[in-house]
A and B are shown apart, each in its own frame.
Chain A
Amino acid sequence: MLVRDSVRRRRGQRRDLGRVSDIAGKTIAEKIFSAHAGTDAHAGDIVIADVDFVMGQDGTSPLAIKALEAMGVEKVFDPKKVAVVIDHSSPSPLEGVSALHTIMRDFGKRTGAKVYDVGCGVCHQLIPENGHVVPGDLMVGCDSHTCTYGALNVFSTGVGSTDGAAAMAAGKLWFKVPETIKVTLTGKLPEGAFSKDMILLVAGKLGADGATYKAIEFGGPAIDALSVDARMTMSNMAIEVGAKAGLMLADAKTLAWYEGRGERTPSPVAPDADAIYVAEHTWDVSELTPQIAKPHSVDNVSPIAEVAGTPIQQGYLGTCTNGRLEDLAIAAFILNGRKVHEDVRFIVAPASRQIYLDAIAEGYISTLVEAGAAVVTPGCGPCVGTHNGVPSDGENVISTANRNFKGRMGNSNAFVYLGSPATVAASVIEGAITDPRKYFEE
Protein backbone atom coordinates (compact mmCIF):
# COMPACT_ATOMS: atom_id res chain seq x y z
CA MET A 1 0.00 0.00 0.00
CA LEU A 2 2.83 2.37 0.80
CA VAL A 3 4.06 3.59 -2.54
CA ARG A 4 5.99 6.63 -1.55
CA ASP A 5 6.42 8.37 1.73
CA SER A 6 8.82 11.12 0.94
CA VAL A 7 9.25 13.87 3.45
CA ARG A 8 10.94 16.82 1.93
CA ARG A 9 11.97 19.31 4.51
CA ARG A 10 12.17 22.40 2.38
CA ARG A 11 12.13 25.05 5.01
CA GLY A 12 15.93 25.14 5.00
CA GLN A 13 15.85 25.52 1.25
CA ARG A 14 13.37 28.38 1.57
CA ARG A 15 15.64 30.21 3.98
CA ASP A 16 18.56 30.04 1.51
CA LEU A 17 16.50 31.57 -1.26
CA GLY A 18 15.92 34.91 0.43
CA ARG A 19 12.63 36.80 0.10
CA VAL A 20 10.13 34.03 -0.37
CA SER A 21 7.36 36.04 -1.98
CA ASP A 22 9.60 36.83 -4.94
CA ILE A 23 10.35 33.27 -5.83
CA ALA A 24 7.95 30.73 -4.37
CA GLY A 25 4.39 29.77 -5.15
CA LYS A 26 1.72 29.58 -2.54
CA THR A 27 -0.34 26.86 -0.91
CA ILE A 28 -4.12 27.10 -0.63
CA ALA A 29 -3.73 28.32 2.97
CA GLU A 30 -1.21 31.02 2.01
CA LYS A 31 -3.50 32.27 -0.77
CA ILE A 32 -6.62 32.40 1.40
CA PHE A 33 -4.77 34.22 4.20
CA SER A 34 -3.21 36.64 1.71
CA ALA A 35 -6.65 37.49 0.33
CA HIS A 36 -8.23 37.90 3.77
CA ALA A 37 -5.40 39.79 5.44
CA GLY A 38 -4.64 42.07 2.50
CA THR A 39 -0.96 41.16 2.67
CA ASP A 40 1.44 38.83 0.95
CA ALA A 41 1.12 36.08 3.55
CA HIS A 42 3.47 33.13 3.84
CA ALA A 43 3.74 30.23 6.26
CA GLY A 44 4.99 31.43 9.63
CA ASP A 45 3.63 34.98 9.25
CA ILE A 46 1.25 36.30 11.89
CA VAL A 47 -1.67 38.09 10.25
CA ILE A 48 -4.92 39.70 11.30
CA ALA A 49 -7.42 38.45 8.76
CA ASP A 50 -11.09 39.13 7.97
CA VAL A 51 -13.36 36.16 8.57
CA ASP A 52 -16.34 35.35 6.35
CA PHE A 53 -18.32 33.53 9.03
CA VAL A 54 -18.23 32.70 12.76
CA MET A 55 -20.07 29.78 14.37
CA GLY A 56 -20.51 28.34 17.85
CA GLN A 57 -22.36 25.33 19.29
CA ASP A 58 -24.13 24.80 22.60
CA GLY A 59 -21.00 23.60 24.42
CA THR A 60 -19.01 26.67 23.42
CA SER A 61 -21.38 29.54 22.52
CA PRO A 62 -22.49 30.32 26.11
CA LEU A 63 -18.85 31.03 27.07
CA ALA A 64 -18.40 33.10 23.90
CA ILE A 65 -21.50 35.13 24.72
CA LYS A 66 -20.18 35.61 28.26
CA ALA A 67 -16.83 36.75 26.82
CA LEU A 68 -18.60 39.26 24.54
CA GLU A 69 -20.41 40.66 27.56
CA ALA A 70 -17.14 40.89 29.48
CA MET A 71 -15.60 42.75 26.54
CA GLY A 72 -18.49 45.20 26.66
CA VAL A 73 -19.52 44.29 23.11
CA GLU A 74 -23.26 44.42 22.40
CA LYS A 75 -23.36 43.80 18.65
CA VAL A 76 -21.83 41.22 16.37
CA PHE A 77 -19.85 42.54 13.39
CA ASP A 78 -22.47 41.30 10.89
CA PRO A 79 -25.54 39.32 12.03
CA LYS A 80 -25.65 37.55 8.65
CA LYS A 81 -22.19 36.14 9.30
CA VAL A 82 -22.72 34.72 12.78
CA ALA A 83 -24.65 31.59 13.78
CA VAL A 84 -25.04 29.54 16.95
CA VAL A 85 -26.18 25.93 16.77
CA ILE A 86 -27.94 23.88 19.45
CA ASP A 87 -26.71 20.40 18.53
CA HIS A 88 -24.54 18.82 21.23
CA SER A 89 -27.22 18.35 23.90
CA SER A 90 -30.34 18.71 21.81
CA PRO A 91 -33.14 18.48 22.91
CA SER A 92 -31.90 19.46 26.35
CA PRO A 93 -31.56 16.54 28.78
CA LEU A 94 -31.04 18.69 31.90
CA GLU A 95 -32.25 22.00 33.31
CA GLY A 96 -28.68 23.35 33.41
CA VAL A 97 -28.37 22.73 29.67
CA SER A 98 -31.77 24.34 29.08
CA ALA A 99 -30.47 27.51 30.72
CA LEU A 100 -27.46 27.52 28.36
CA HIS A 101 -29.76 27.10 25.36
CA THR A 102 -31.79 30.07 26.60
CA ILE A 103 -28.61 32.18 26.68
CA MET A 104 -28.07 31.28 23.00
CA ARG A 105 -31.66 32.02 21.94
CA ASP A 106 -31.56 35.38 23.74
CA PHE A 107 -28.27 36.17 22.03
CA GLY A 108 -29.89 35.52 18.66
CA LYS A 109 -32.82 37.79 19.44
CA ARG A 110 -30.53 40.53 20.76
CA THR A 111 -27.94 40.54 17.97
CA GLY A 112 -29.78 39.13 14.95
CA ALA A 113 -27.34 36.22 14.72
CA LYS A 114 -28.87 33.05 13.30
CA VAL A 115 -29.92 30.41 15.84
CA TYR A 116 -30.21 26.83 14.62
CA ASP A 117 -32.42 25.29 17.28
CA VAL A 118 -33.35 21.76 18.35
CA GLY A 119 -33.90 19.49 15.35
CA CYS A 120 -31.97 21.49 12.76
CA GLY A 121 -28.91 19.26 12.92
CA VAL A 122 -25.14 19.24 13.45
CA CYS A 123 -23.36 22.57 13.01
CA HIS A 124 -20.88 21.11 10.52
CA GLN A 125 -23.66 20.03 8.20
CA LEU A 126 -25.78 23.16 8.64
CA ILE A 127 -23.10 25.77 7.94
CA PRO A 128 -22.22 24.51 4.45
CA GLU A 129 -25.71 23.13 3.70
CA ASN A 130 -27.17 26.61 4.10
CA GLY A 131 -24.47 28.23 1.98
CA HIS A 132 -22.95 30.24 4.84
CA VAL A 133 -19.46 29.39 3.56
CA VAL A 134 -18.27 29.01 -0.04
CA PRO A 135 -14.96 28.00 -1.65
CA GLY A 136 -12.21 30.52 -0.96
CA ASP A 137 -13.67 31.63 2.39
CA LEU A 138 -11.92 31.95 5.73
CA MET A 139 -14.08 31.05 8.72
CA VAL A 140 -13.73 30.08 12.37
CA GLY A 141 -16.01 27.98 14.53
CA CYS A 142 -16.03 27.28 18.24
CA ASP A 143 -15.77 23.54 17.66
CA SER A 144 -12.68 21.60 16.70
CA HIS A 145 -14.35 19.82 13.78
CA THR A 146 -14.90 23.15 12.00
CA CYS A 147 -12.14 21.87 9.70
CA THR A 148 -14.88 19.86 7.91
CA TYR A 149 -15.49 22.60 5.29
CA GLY A 150 -11.93 22.22 4.03
CA ALA A 151 -13.53 19.64 1.74
CA LEU A 152 -15.34 22.60 0.16
CA ASN A 153 -12.13 24.59 -0.32
CA VAL A 154 -12.89 26.75 2.73
CA PHE A 155 -10.09 27.51 5.19
CA SER A 156 -12.14 26.72 8.28
CA THR A 157 -10.65 26.05 11.67
CA GLY A 158 -11.70 25.45 15.25
CA VAL A 159 -11.10 28.07 17.92
CA GLY A 160 -12.06 28.49 21.57
CA SER A 161 -14.93 30.55 22.85
CA THR A 162 -12.95 33.73 23.54
CA ASP A 163 -11.34 33.70 20.08
CA GLY A 164 -14.83 33.08 18.68
CA ALA A 165 -16.16 36.04 20.66
CA ALA A 166 -13.39 38.30 19.35
CA ALA A 167 -14.18 37.19 15.80
CA MET A 168 -17.92 37.78 16.34
CA ALA A 169 -17.14 41.27 17.64
CA ALA A 170 -14.48 42.39 15.20
CA GLY A 171 -15.07 40.27 12.10
CA LYS A 172 -11.41 39.39 12.21
CA LEU A 173 -8.92 37.32 14.17
CA TRP A 174 -5.18 36.86 14.42
CA PHE A 175 -3.68 33.77 12.83
CA LYS A 176 -0.31 32.20 12.29
CA VAL A 177 -0.28 31.20 8.62
CA PRO A 178 0.36 27.45 8.74
CA GLU A 179 2.82 25.36 6.83
CA THR A 180 1.12 22.71 4.70
CA ILE A 181 1.50 18.94 4.43
CA LYS A 182 0.45 17.53 1.06
CA VAL A 183 -1.34 14.17 1.20
CA THR A 184 -1.96 12.52 -2.17
CA LEU A 185 -4.18 9.45 -2.38
CA THR A 186 -3.88 7.42 -5.56
CA GLY A 187 -5.62 4.37 -6.97
CA LYS A 188 -9.27 3.36 -6.90
CA LEU A 189 -10.96 2.45 -3.61
CA PRO A 190 -12.09 -1.19 -3.63
CA GLU A 191 -15.76 -2.07 -3.05
CA GLY A 192 -16.58 -2.01 0.65
CA ALA A 193 -13.88 0.53 1.55
CA PHE A 194 -14.84 4.18 1.91
CA SER A 195 -13.48 7.65 2.58
CA LYS A 196 -13.71 6.93 6.34
CA ASP A 197 -11.28 4.06 5.84
CA MET A 198 -8.97 6.40 3.92
CA ILE A 199 -8.90 9.03 6.65
CA LEU A 200 -8.39 6.38 9.34
CA LEU A 201 -5.44 5.13 7.30
CA VAL A 202 -4.05 8.68 7.17
CA ALA A 203 -4.64 9.15 10.94
CA GLY A 204 -2.78 5.93 11.68
CA LYS A 205 0.12 6.95 9.44
CA LEU A 206 0.49 10.56 10.60
CA GLY A 207 -0.37 10.03 14.30
CA ALA A 208 -2.33 12.21 16.71
CA ASP A 209 0.14 15.10 16.50
CA GLY A 210 1.41 14.46 12.96
CA ALA A 211 0.06 17.74 11.58
CA THR A 212 -0.10 19.96 14.67
CA TYR A 213 0.10 23.69 13.78
CA LYS A 214 -0.09 22.73 10.07
CA ALA A 215 -2.67 22.57 7.29
CA ILE A 216 -3.15 19.50 5.11
CA GLU A 217 -3.95 19.60 1.40
CA PHE A 218 -5.68 16.37 0.35
CA GLY A 219 -5.61 15.51 -3.34
CA GLY A 220 -5.12 12.84 -5.96
CA PRO A 221 -7.36 10.54 -8.01
CA ALA A 222 -8.86 8.80 -4.97
CA ILE A 223 -10.05 12.17 -3.61
CA ASP A 224 -11.29 13.37 -7.01
CA ALA A 225 -13.44 10.23 -7.27
CA LEU A 226 -15.24 10.91 -3.97
CA SER A 227 -18.61 12.60 -3.60
CA VAL A 228 -18.71 15.88 -1.67
CA ASP A 229 -20.31 14.03 1.28
CA ALA A 230 -17.44 11.55 1.37
CA ARG A 231 -14.83 14.30 1.11
CA MET A 232 -16.33 16.05 4.14
CA THR A 233 -15.75 12.87 6.17
CA MET A 234 -12.03 13.19 5.49
CA SER A 235 -11.60 16.91 6.12
CA ASN A 236 -13.69 16.50 9.30
CA MET A 237 -10.99 14.30 10.79
CA ALA A 238 -8.00 16.51 9.90
CA ILE A 239 -8.07 17.72 13.52
CA GLU A 240 -7.50 14.14 14.69
CA VAL A 241 -3.91 14.48 13.46
CA GLY A 242 -3.73 17.97 14.96
CA ALA A 243 -4.21 19.85 11.67
CA LYS A 244 -5.51 23.39 11.55
CA ALA A 245 -7.33 22.69 8.27
CA GLY A 246 -7.87 19.80 5.84
CA LEU A 247 -8.16 21.47 2.45
CA MET A 248 -9.27 20.13 -0.90
CA LEU A 249 -9.69 21.67 -4.36
CA ALA A 250 -13.08 22.90 -5.49
CA ASP A 251 -13.95 20.97 -8.65
CA ALA A 252 -17.10 20.59 -10.76
CA LYS A 253 -18.66 18.36 -8.07
CA THR A 254 -18.07 21.03 -5.43
CA LEU A 255 -19.62 23.75 -7.55
CA ALA A 256 -22.60 21.53 -8.46
CA TRP A 257 -23.10 20.81 -4.72
CA TYR A 258 -23.54 24.56 -4.13
CA GLU A 259 -26.38 24.94 -6.61
CA GLY A 260 -29.45 26.11 -4.70
CA ARG A 261 -27.52 26.69 -1.49
CA GLY A 262 -27.63 30.45 -1.02
CA GLU A 263 -26.56 33.42 -3.04
CA ARG A 264 -22.86 33.71 -2.38
CA THR A 265 -20.47 33.13 -5.27
CA PRO A 266 -17.71 30.57 -4.78
CA SER A 267 -14.13 31.77 -5.40
CA PRO A 268 -12.14 28.53 -5.66
CA VAL A 269 -8.48 28.66 -4.65
CA ALA A 270 -5.87 26.26 -6.02
CA PRO A 271 -2.24 26.02 -4.91
CA ASP A 272 0.56 27.17 -7.20
CA ALA A 273 2.52 24.42 -8.93
CA ASP A 274 5.66 25.56 -7.12
CA ALA A 275 4.04 25.93 -3.70
CA ILE A 276 6.29 24.83 -0.84
CA TYR A 277 5.14 21.97 1.38
CA VAL A 278 6.69 21.01 4.68
CA ALA A 279 6.10 17.32 3.89
CA GLU A 280 4.53 15.28 1.12
CA HIS A 281 3.00 11.81 1.43
CA THR A 282 1.50 9.60 -1.26
CA TRP A 283 -0.51 6.50 -0.43
CA ASP A 284 -2.16 4.08 -2.86
CA VAL A 285 -5.63 2.99 -1.68
CA SER A 286 -6.26 0.35 -4.40
CA GLU A 287 -6.02 -2.46 -1.88
CA LEU A 288 -7.29 -0.63 1.20
CA THR A 289 -9.31 -2.82 3.56
CA PRO A 290 -11.86 -1.40 6.03
CA GLN A 291 -9.99 0.27 8.89
CA ILE A 292 -10.84 0.51 12.59
CA ALA A 293 -9.60 3.00 15.20
CA LYS A 294 -9.40 1.03 18.43
CA PRO A 295 -9.87 2.38 21.97
CA HIS A 296 -8.82 4.87 23.22
CA SER A 297 -7.17 6.95 20.50
CA VAL A 298 -7.96 7.82 16.90
CA ASP A 299 -4.47 6.97 15.63
CA ASN A 300 -4.67 3.45 17.12
CA VAL A 301 -5.70 2.14 13.70
CA SER A 302 -5.61 -1.37 12.30
CA PRO A 303 -7.16 -3.26 9.37
CA ILE A 304 -10.54 -4.66 10.38
CA ALA A 305 -9.24 -8.25 10.32
CA GLU A 306 -7.36 -7.58 13.55
CA VAL A 307 -10.51 -6.81 15.56
CA ALA A 308 -13.22 -8.66 13.59
CA GLY A 309 -15.39 -10.73 15.93
CA THR A 310 -15.08 -8.33 18.89
CA PRO A 311 -18.58 -8.34 20.48
CA ILE A 312 -20.45 -5.02 20.45
CA GLN A 313 -23.45 -3.88 22.45
CA GLN A 314 -24.14 -0.57 20.66
CA GLY A 315 -23.76 0.75 17.13
CA TYR A 316 -23.93 4.43 16.21
CA LEU A 317 -24.43 5.88 12.75
CA GLY A 318 -24.30 9.66 12.55
CA THR A 319 -22.19 12.71 13.56
CA CYS A 320 -20.46 15.45 11.62
CA THR A 321 -18.18 12.72 10.25
CA ASN A 322 -20.72 10.25 8.85
CA GLY A 323 -24.33 11.38 9.31
CA ARG A 324 -24.92 12.44 5.69
CA LEU A 325 -27.32 11.06 3.10
CA GLU A 326 -24.73 8.83 1.44
CA ASP A 327 -23.84 7.34 4.84
CA LEU A 328 -27.49 6.54 5.59
CA ALA A 329 -27.83 5.08 2.07
CA ILE A 330 -24.91 2.71 2.58
CA ALA A 331 -26.26 1.51 5.93
CA ALA A 332 -29.75 1.07 4.45
CA PHE A 333 -28.30 -0.93 1.55
CA ILE A 334 -26.65 -3.37 3.98
CA LEU A 335 -29.56 -3.55 6.45
CA ASN A 336 -32.29 -3.86 3.82
CA GLY A 337 -34.33 -6.94 4.72
CA ARG A 338 -32.02 -7.77 7.64
CA LYS A 339 -32.29 -7.29 11.40
CA VAL A 340 -30.12 -5.66 14.03
CA HIS A 341 -28.77 -8.33 16.42
CA GLU A 342 -30.96 -8.80 19.48
CA ASP A 343 -28.13 -7.89 21.87
CA VAL A 344 -27.32 -4.62 20.09
CA ARG A 345 -28.81 -1.12 20.30
CA PHE A 346 -28.44 0.63 16.94
CA ILE A 347 -28.75 4.42 17.17
CA VAL A 348 -29.00 6.63 14.09
CA ALA A 349 -28.80 10.44 14.01
CA PRO A 350 -29.15 12.14 10.61
CA ALA A 351 -26.77 15.10 10.42
CA SER A 352 -29.53 17.58 9.56
CA ARG A 353 -33.28 17.93 9.16
CA GLN A 354 -32.81 18.18 5.38
CA ILE A 355 -30.84 14.93 5.34
CA TYR A 356 -33.53 13.34 7.53
CA LEU A 357 -36.22 14.42 5.04
CA ASP A 358 -34.19 13.26 2.05
CA ALA A 359 -33.55 9.91 3.75
CA ILE A 360 -37.26 9.52 4.43
CA ALA A 361 -38.05 10.32 0.79
CA GLU A 362 -35.50 7.75 -0.38
CA GLY A 363 -36.86 5.09 1.99
CA TYR A 364 -33.62 4.75 3.95
CA ILE A 365 -35.20 5.67 7.27
CA SER A 366 -37.95 3.06 7.03
CA THR A 367 -35.38 0.43 6.03
CA LEU A 368 -33.22 1.28 9.04
CA VAL A 369 -36.14 1.46 11.48
CA GLU A 370 -37.61 -1.82 10.20
CA ALA A 371 -34.19 -3.38 10.79
CA GLY A 372 -34.34 -2.23 14.41
CA ALA A 373 -32.64 1.17 14.45
CA ALA A 374 -33.57 3.88 16.97
CA VAL A 375 -33.52 7.18 15.10
CA VAL A 376 -32.79 10.21 17.31
CA THR A 377 -33.00 13.96 16.73
CA PRO A 378 -30.68 15.36 14.04
CA GLY A 379 -27.64 16.59 15.95
CA CYS A 380 -24.54 15.17 17.58
CA GLY A 381 -26.43 12.21 19.08
CA PRO A 382 -24.47 10.13 21.62
CA CYS A 383 -21.03 11.07 20.16
CA VAL A 384 -20.02 13.42 22.94
CA GLY A 385 -21.53 11.67 25.95
CA THR A 386 -24.24 14.13 26.84
CA HIS A 387 -27.38 12.13 25.97
CA ASN A 388 -28.99 9.72 23.50
CA GLY A 389 -27.07 6.55 24.31
CA VAL A 390 -24.40 6.53 27.00
CA PRO A 391 -22.88 3.02 27.03
CA SER A 392 -22.68 0.92 30.18
CA ASP A 393 -19.57 -0.28 32.02
CA GLY A 394 -17.46 -2.67 29.98
CA GLU A 395 -19.52 -2.27 26.81
CA ASN A 396 -18.09 -1.99 23.31
CA VAL A 397 -19.48 0.52 20.83
CA ILE A 398 -18.89 0.60 17.07
CA SER A 399 -19.38 4.16 15.85
CA THR A 400 -19.02 6.30 12.75
CA ALA A 401 -17.84 9.24 14.90
CA ASN A 402 -14.42 10.85 14.88
CA ARG A 403 -13.22 10.36 18.47
CA ASN A 404 -12.92 7.32 20.71
CA PHE A 405 -11.20 8.81 23.76
CA LYS A 406 -11.86 7.17 27.10
CA GLY A 407 -15.11 8.59 28.46
CA ARG A 408 -15.98 10.27 25.16
CA MET A 409 -19.48 8.78 25.00
CA GLY A 410 -20.10 9.51 28.67
CA ASN A 411 -18.70 6.39 30.36
CA SER A 412 -14.98 6.00 31.11
CA ASN A 413 -15.44 2.24 31.41
CA ALA A 414 -16.76 1.75 27.86
CA PHE A 415 -14.74 1.07 24.70
CA VAL A 416 -15.37 2.92 21.44
CA TYR A 417 -14.27 1.57 18.05
CA LEU A 418 -14.49 3.84 14.98
CA GLY A 419 -15.29 2.67 11.47
CA SER A 420 -17.22 3.47 8.30
CA PRO A 421 -21.03 3.44 8.03
CA ALA A 422 -20.73 0.12 6.14
CA THR A 423 -18.67 -1.39 8.96
CA VAL A 424 -21.16 -0.19 11.57
CA ALA A 425 -24.13 -1.57 9.59
CA ALA A 426 -22.48 -4.96 9.08
CA SER A 427 -21.45 -5.09 12.75
CA VAL A 428 -24.88 -4.34 14.22
CA ILE A 429 -26.33 -7.28 12.25
CA GLU A 430 -23.84 -9.77 13.69
CA GLY A 431 -23.39 -8.24 17.15
CA ALA A 432 -19.65 -8.15 16.57
CA ILE A 433 -17.20 -6.06 14.56
CA THR A 434 -17.70 -7.31 11.02
CA ASP A 435 -15.96 -6.73 7.69
CA PRO A 436 -18.69 -5.23 5.45
CA ARG A 437 -17.13 -6.23 2.14
CA LYS A 438 -19.19 -9.40 1.82
CA TYR A 439 -22.30 -7.26 1.28
CA PHE A 440 -20.71 -5.69 -1.78
CA GLU A 441 -19.78 -8.98 -3.46
CA GLU A 442 -23.33 -10.08 -4.20
Chain B
Amino acid sequence: MTLKAKAFKFGDDVNTDYIISGKHKFKSIDMDDMSKHAMEELDPEYYAKVKPNGGFLVAGSNFGMGSSREQAPLVLIGSNTKAVLAKSFARIFYRNAINTGLPVVECDTDLIDDGDVLELDLTAGLLHDVTKGIDIPFPPLPPVMAQLLADGGLVEHFKKHGGFAL
Protein backbone atom coordinates (compact mmCIF):
# COMPACT_ATOMS: atom_id res chain seq x y z
CA MET B 1 0.00 0.00 0.00
CA THR B 2 1.36 3.41 -0.95
CA LEU B 3 0.84 6.30 1.45
CA LYS B 4 0.84 9.75 -0.12
CA ALA B 5 0.83 13.04 1.77
CA LYS B 6 2.66 16.28 2.45
CA ALA B 7 5.76 16.58 4.65
CA PHE B 8 5.57 18.57 7.87
CA LYS B 9 9.12 19.25 8.93
CA PHE B 10 10.67 19.61 12.42
CA GLY B 11 14.21 19.66 13.84
CA ASP B 12 16.39 17.42 16.01
CA ASP B 13 15.62 16.06 19.51
CA VAL B 14 11.84 16.36 19.34
CA ASN B 15 10.95 14.95 22.78
CA THR B 16 7.75 13.23 23.85
CA ASP B 17 6.75 16.20 26.02
CA TYR B 18 6.59 18.21 22.76
CA ILE B 19 4.66 15.46 20.95
CA ILE B 20 2.10 15.38 23.78
CA SER B 21 2.58 17.41 26.94
CA GLY B 22 2.23 15.80 30.39
CA LYS B 23 -0.51 18.27 31.29
CA HIS B 24 -2.71 16.68 28.62
CA LYS B 25 -1.66 13.05 28.71
CA PHE B 26 -2.39 12.40 32.37
CA LYS B 27 -5.98 13.63 32.13
CA SER B 28 -7.63 10.80 30.23
CA ILE B 29 -7.16 8.00 27.74
CA ASP B 30 -9.49 9.58 25.18
CA MET B 31 -7.10 9.75 22.24
CA ASP B 32 -9.49 11.65 19.94
CA ASP B 33 -9.50 14.58 22.30
CA MET B 34 -5.83 14.31 23.25
CA SER B 35 -4.77 14.19 19.58
CA LYS B 36 -5.85 17.82 19.14
CA HIS B 37 -2.80 18.73 21.26
CA ALA B 38 -0.30 16.70 19.18
CA MET B 39 2.95 18.61 18.61
CA GLU B 40 1.40 21.80 19.99
CA GLU B 41 4.55 22.86 21.88
CA LEU B 42 6.31 23.16 18.51
CA ASP B 43 3.38 23.97 16.22
CA PRO B 44 0.00 24.76 17.79
CA GLU B 45 -1.62 24.33 14.34
CA TYR B 46 -0.25 20.83 13.70
CA TYR B 47 -3.54 19.01 14.26
CA ALA B 48 -5.54 21.52 12.20
CA LYS B 49 -3.07 21.28 9.32
CA VAL B 50 -2.55 17.50 9.27
CA LYS B 51 -5.90 16.03 10.29
CA PRO B 52 -7.95 16.80 7.11
CA ASN B 53 -5.63 15.26 4.48
CA GLY B 54 -2.99 13.44 6.50
CA GLY B 55 0.71 14.11 6.57
CA PHE B 56 4.22 12.76 7.09
CA LEU B 57 6.02 14.06 10.16
CA VAL B 58 9.62 14.63 9.03
CA ALA B 59 12.28 15.29 11.67
CA GLY B 60 16.00 15.29 12.31
CA SER B 61 17.85 13.02 14.71
CA ASN B 62 16.69 11.47 18.03
CA PHE B 63 12.96 11.84 17.38
CA GLY B 64 10.83 10.85 20.38
CA MET B 65 13.47 11.24 23.09
CA GLY B 66 12.42 11.35 26.73
CA SER B 67 9.40 9.77 28.35
CA SER B 68 7.98 6.32 27.66
CA ARG B 69 4.47 7.67 27.04
CA GLU B 70 2.69 5.62 24.40
CA GLN B 71 0.30 8.52 24.01
CA ALA B 72 3.04 10.04 21.78
CA PRO B 73 2.59 7.68 18.81
CA LEU B 74 -1.14 7.41 19.57
CA VAL B 75 -1.77 11.17 19.21
CA LEU B 76 0.25 11.21 16.00
CA ILE B 77 -1.96 8.42 14.64
CA GLY B 78 -4.99 10.35 15.95
CA SER B 79 -3.92 13.48 14.11
CA ASN B 80 -3.72 11.51 10.84
CA THR B 81 0.08 11.35 10.71
CA LYS B 82 0.76 8.57 8.17
CA ALA B 83 4.35 7.90 9.25
CA VAL B 84 7.30 9.53 10.98
CA LEU B 85 10.48 9.96 8.96
CA ALA B 86 13.63 10.88 10.91
CA LYS B 87 17.40 10.52 10.77
CA SER B 88 17.21 8.53 14.00
CA PHE B 89 14.73 7.67 16.73
CA ALA B 90 14.85 7.35 20.50
CA ARG B 91 14.53 3.71 21.52
CA ILE B 92 11.30 3.66 23.52
CA PHE B 93 9.38 5.81 21.02
CA TYR B 94 10.52 3.55 18.17
CA ARG B 95 9.17 0.44 19.91
CA ASN B 96 5.96 2.19 20.91
CA ALA B 97 5.37 3.33 17.33
CA ILE B 98 5.70 -0.21 15.98
CA ASN B 99 3.59 -1.63 18.81
CA THR B 100 0.77 0.81 18.11
CA GLY B 101 1.00 0.53 14.32
CA LEU B 102 2.60 3.89 13.43
CA PRO B 103 5.16 3.40 10.62
CA VAL B 104 8.64 4.82 11.35
CA VAL B 105 11.31 5.28 8.70
CA GLU B 106 14.98 6.07 9.30
CA CYS B 107 16.32 8.04 6.34
CA ASP B 108 18.26 11.15 5.33
CA THR B 109 15.57 13.74 5.99
CA ASP B 110 17.87 16.60 4.90
CA LEU B 111 16.73 15.68 1.38
CA ILE B 112 13.13 16.59 2.24
CA ASP B 113 11.73 20.12 2.62
CA ASP B 114 8.62 21.20 4.48
CA GLY B 115 5.62 20.89 2.17
CA ASP B 116 7.16 18.33 -0.20
CA VAL B 117 4.71 15.68 -1.36
CA LEU B 118 5.96 12.19 -0.46
CA GLU B 119 4.97 8.65 -1.41
CA LEU B 120 5.87 5.80 0.93
CA ASP B 121 5.49 2.09 0.20
CA LEU B 122 6.75 0.23 3.28
CA THR B 123 6.29 -3.23 1.80
CA ALA B 124 8.34 -2.40 -1.26
CA GLY B 125 10.78 -0.27 0.75
CA LEU B 126 10.28 2.81 -1.43
CA LEU B 127 10.20 6.46 -0.42
CA HIS B 128 9.70 8.96 -3.26
CA ASP B 129 9.77 12.75 -2.98
CA VAL B 130 7.28 13.71 -5.68
CA THR B 131 8.05 17.44 -5.43
CA LYS B 132 11.76 16.91 -6.00
CA GLY B 133 11.45 13.82 -8.19
CA ILE B 134 13.91 11.78 -6.12
CA ASP B 135 13.89 8.40 -4.44
CA ILE B 136 15.19 8.35 -0.86
CA PRO B 137 16.65 5.01 0.25
CA PHE B 138 16.00 3.60 3.72
CA PRO B 139 16.97 0.35 5.45
CA PRO B 140 14.21 -2.22 6.04
CA LEU B 141 12.81 -2.69 9.55
CA PRO B 142 14.42 -5.45 11.61
CA PRO B 143 12.46 -8.69 10.93
CA VAL B 144 10.94 -8.77 14.45
CA MET B 145 9.53 -5.27 14.05
CA ALA B 146 8.42 -5.84 10.47
CA GLN B 147 6.40 -8.82 11.68
CA LEU B 148 4.80 -6.84 14.52
CA LEU B 149 3.88 -4.01 12.16
CA ALA B 150 2.55 -6.48 9.59
CA ASP B 151 0.34 -8.04 12.28
CA GLY B 152 -1.04 -4.55 13.05
CA GLY B 153 0.89 -3.94 16.27
CA LEU B 154 1.67 -5.90 19.42
CA VAL B 155 -1.93 -6.27 20.64
CA GLU B 156 -3.00 -7.80 17.34
CA HIS B 157 0.11 -9.99 17.34
CA PHE B 158 -0.86 -11.33 20.78
CA LYS B 159 -4.45 -11.91 19.73
CA LYS B 160 -3.36 -13.72 16.59
CA HIS B 161 -0.71 -15.94 18.19
CA GLY B 162 -1.79 -16.09 21.86
CA GLY B 163 1.58 -14.66 22.95
CA PHE B 164 4.96 -13.88 21.43
CA ALA B 165 5.55 -15.71 18.15
CA LEU B 166 8.68 -13.95 16.91
Contacts and interface: CB of A to CB of B under 8 A. Distances in A.
A76 to B, nearest CB: 14
Interface size bracket, A side: 35 or more
A65 B53 CA distance: 32
A420 to B, nearest CB: 21
B62 A386 contact: no
A96 B23 CA distance: 12
B142 interface: yes
B88 A385 contact: no
A32 B97 CA distance: 26
Given A60-B69, A71-B155, A384 B26 contact: yes
Contact of A242 (B22, B91, B159, B164): B91
Contact of A385 (B18, B22, B90, B159): B22
Interface in A138-193: 142-144, 146, 158-163, 165-166, 169-170, 172-174, 176
Contacts, number: 144
Contacts of A160: 68-70, 92, 95-96, 99-100
B26 A59 contact: yes
Interface in B130-146: 142, 144
Interface in A201-215: 208-209, 212-213
Contacts of B166: 46, 48, 174
Contacts of B163: 169-170
A72 interface: yes
A97 B27 contact: yes
B69 A242 contact: no
B15 interface: yes
Interface stretch (A252-260, A263-271, A404-412, A425-433): A404-412
B154 A162 contact: yes
B41 A412 contact: yes
A63 interface: yes
A59 B17 CA distance: 13
A84 to B, nearest CB: 14
B123 interface: no
B155 A67 contact: yes
Contact of A410 (B22, B88, B159): B22
Contacts of A71: 155, 158-159
A73 interface: yes
7 nearest CB pairs, A to B: A160-B96, A209-B62, A160-B70, A162-B99, A158-B68, A384-B22, A144-B68
21 contacts: A48-B166, A59-B69, A60-B68, A63-B70, A89-B26, A97-B27, A100-B26, A162-B100, A165-B154, A165-B155, A166-B158, A166-B164, A242-B62, A242-B65, A242-B90, A242-B91, A297-B13, A384-B26, A406-B41, A407-B22, A408-B22
Given A163-B99, A410-B23, 11 more contacts: A59-B26, A100-B26, A160-B96, A160-B100, A161-B96, A174-B164, A208-B13, A209-B90, A239-B66, A242-B91, A385-B22
